[in-house]
Amino acid sequence: MALGFKSLSNPVKSNLAASTATPVPPWAVLSLATNAILLFTVVLLLLETPKTSDSEAARLDGNRPATPTTAPTPTPTPQLGPRHTWTYEEWVEQLGKEARAIAANPPPRLGILAGDSISLWFPPQLLPPQLTWLNQGISGEISRGLLERLPLFDEVKAEVIFVMIGINDLLRGIPPAQILENQRLIIRDLLTWHPNSEIVVQSILPHSGPQATWEGRDRLLEIPNEQIKSINRELEAIARNEGVRFLNLYPLFANAEGNLKPELSTDGLHLNDEGYEIWRAALMTYIELEL
């Protein structure tokens, strides 16, 4: 059963109206009920979540402190200065060290974030406290790159693995069909090497459209958010067919025009702390209801 936040409207009402013509199957009723519970719980969590300060400057200029945003591990991080930008190879090496450290000393409950900069910059203090977290995000990552570095954490025993990838593919002009095929291969690889883990594929988030200030704004505007929604629908179908979960975050971040809400973003592409608080609430809801 695919799991996600389908809409901010009332899906139960519309489906009941349609049932006068066609009986609603039991699985559909269960899915709708689960989605309603998830959305209600997210609202409650957001009301209870304390606000934290932004760190917009580091994100807006495209640089990042050298310390990756993962839970503390026995692996020390070199002190390279707040404006040092690691190469891709340096990031891969560092994430491999952290994965090996976690595998050698596994916590009772472990979650993995796998993806690009949106996952990488998830503030550690905002990650759901029920789990210890291993962050395997790299800035600028594409779906093929993530697929090729999945072996970094083959030996890690995780309770749940959350995957979000794809926006950088679109920015590079990679066809949606190739993105979706890479997503399918990522899912199959994770199922093979992590048979006891819950695999959760997350939707690609929208961008802020004309209100974006990201340095690659022109490229961003070439990607309609309707295209992202279409890819997410196909991604949900793939997740369902492969037997993993799908977490549709898109409706939580989109405004009435389908664009990323500016108040949740630093630049129209990346999230600020308020955006991460919404994502945190969605993850906490999922963990409480499904794990």
Q: Centre a 10 Å sphere on the Cβ of residue 60 and count the other Cβ atoms it contains.
A: 15
| b (16+ CB within 10 A) / e for 259-273 | bbbbebbbbbbbbbb
Structure tokens at 272: 């600020």
CB 72 within 8 A of CB 132: no
Per-residue model confidence (pLDDT) at position 40: 54
Q: What is the pLDDT of residue 54?
A: 39
pLDDT of residue 183: 98
The confidence score (pLDDT) of residue 115 equals 98
pTM of the entire predicted model: 0.75
pLDDT at 148: 98
Res 80: pLDDT? 39
Q: Which helix (H) or strand (E) holds 163?
A: strand 160-164
Query: What confidence score (pLDDT) does residue 38 get?
Result: 56
∠ CA 247-37-271, nearest 5°, is 45
Q: Give the pLDDT confidence score for residue 39 in this predicted structure.
A: 54
pLDDT tens profile 177-203: 999 999 999 999 999 999 999 999 999
Instruction: Please name the residues in contact with 146: beta carbons below 8 A apart, sequence gap of 6 or more.
Output: 114, 115, 116, 163, 165, 182, 186
If you write DSSP's letter for every residue of 219-243 in order, what string do you get? HHHTS-HHHHHHHHHHHHHHHHHHT
pLDDT in tens, 235-269: 999 999 999 999 999 999 999 999 999 999 999 99
Positions of the chain with pLDDT lower than 50, given as ranges = 1, 5-22, 24-35, 41-83
